[in-house]
Amino acid sequence: MKIWVFRVSAMMTNCYFLCADPRGKGSCAVIDPGGDPEELREKLEAKELTPEYFLLTHGHFDHIMGLEPLRKFYPKAKTLIHSSDANMLTDVDSSYMRLFGGINTPSKPADRLLSDGDEIKLDGLKINILHTPGHTPGSVCYIAGDSIFCGDTIFRDSIGRYDLAGGNWEELKRSLKKIKDLPGDYRLYPGHGSSTSLDRERRENSYLNM
């Protein structure tokens, strides 16, 4: 397994390329394509990667801004999002795409709607879906091997905000407990900021110990 991270857009969103091949060849999943689609396409082509999936941790504008143009570049790639955030792709107001992204054209619906416990495969690599609502109703973590792509649910020393439409503090607390209670340690790859480890956040992140 190989992972690349790119800070994209003015929001400094983390976009990840995930490849099952440790050499970094072949098909990949693009997680949260929130940046300039031409730049992301150039990065994919430079690494000779072909997206099989566009995996969305949630539906906010800064995680999906490059999605629709990339879908046109790579029409065979499937877009996946949790069912509770599905409307954010087709509604530029619920995703804040119009207000903060300056984009008035909605995306097409997702190719597949996810539920808690679902599993997808990328060239034999199993990716499990953990539903972690609170930041948005349909926030998810993608668990692949010893890595978790956790979107805006948890950050290094912090958590995602829950004061936007659809946010819910009580749900977020339950989601944080789900992550904290996972057996063993994982590398956490959040939607913003630097990566961290679950063991570190168990020790240092006060929100996991409330």
**Which whole number is the average pLDDT over 94-107?**
86
Q: How far apart (Å, rounded) are the C-alpha atoms in residues 187 and 30?
A: 18
Distance of CA 206 to the CA centre of its chain: 23
Distance of CA 135 to the CA centre of its chain: 12
Q: Using an 8 Å Cβ cutoff, are 113 and 87 in contact?
A: no
Q: Which contacts qualify for 194-202: CB closer than 8 Å, 24 or more apart?
A: 194/156, 195/5, 195/156, 196/155, 196/156, 196/157, 198/148, 200/156, 201/154, 201/156, 201/157
Q: Using an 8 Å Cβ cutoff, are 108 and 5 in contact?
A: no
For 29-78, what is each residue's pLDDT tens digit? Answer: 999 999 899 999 999 999 999 999 999 999 999 999 999 999 999 999 99
For 168-177, what is each residue's pLDDT tens digit? Answer: 999 999 999 9
Q: Quick count: other Cβ atoms within 10 Å of Cβ 112?
A: 13
Tell me the pTM: 0.96
Domains and CATH numbers, the chain: 2-209 (3.60.15.10)
